[in-house]
């Protein structure tokens, strides 16, 4: 930040930081511009298949009103093994319904 169009520091320039960690979580989106640069630079897609998403609504429950809170979301995400993860969610919809996915 703070560079002019030629790449020279402006008065507002602040140097970046070096993240020195065993793991770094980069959360700007799966296919955003910085993400593509990181994938290319560090060969993060080597030996992998295309990105895969799976989402499904499995069941619809009706629960007692005292246990219901519209728009409440509970989720759990776990590592299945070293290459796969999975999980589930519970979403409180209207009319005392809970969506299980």
Residue 22 lies in a domain: no
Residue 11 lies in a domain: no
More confident residue, 85 or 68: 68
Residue 74 inside a domain? The answer is yes
Higher pLDDT, 22 or 6: 6
pLDDT digits (tens, 9 = 90+) for 26-47: 776 555 678 788 888 888 888 8
What are 46-82's pLDDT values in tens digits? Answer: 888 776 666 778 899 999 999 999 999 999 988 888 8
User: In this predicted structure, what is the pLDDT of residue 32?
Assistant: 66
Domain that holds residue 95: 51-100
pLDDT at 21 over 70: yes
Q: Does the predicted TM-score (pTM) go above 0.85?
A: no
Answer whether residue 14 is part of any domain: no
- Average pLDDT over every residue of 74-97: 90
What are the φ and ψ backbone dihedral angles of 33, each rounded to 5 degrees?
-60, -50
pLDDT of residue 43: 87
Q: Is residue 32 in some structural domain?
A: no
In a domain, 19, yes or no: no
Number of domains in the chain: 1
């Amino acid at each position: 930040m703070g560079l002019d169009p030629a790449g020279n520091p402006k008065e507002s320039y602040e140097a970046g930081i070096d993240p020195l960690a065993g793991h770094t979580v980069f959360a700007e989106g799966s296919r955003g511009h910085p993400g593509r640069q990181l994938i290319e630079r560090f060969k993060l897609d080597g030996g992998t298949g295309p990105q895969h998403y799976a989402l499904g609504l499995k069941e619809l429950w009706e629960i007692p009103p005292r246990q219901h809170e519209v728009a409440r979301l509970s989720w759990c995400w776990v590592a299945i093994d070293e290459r796969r993860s999975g999980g589930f969610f519970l979403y409180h919809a209207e009319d005392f319904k809970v969506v299980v996915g």
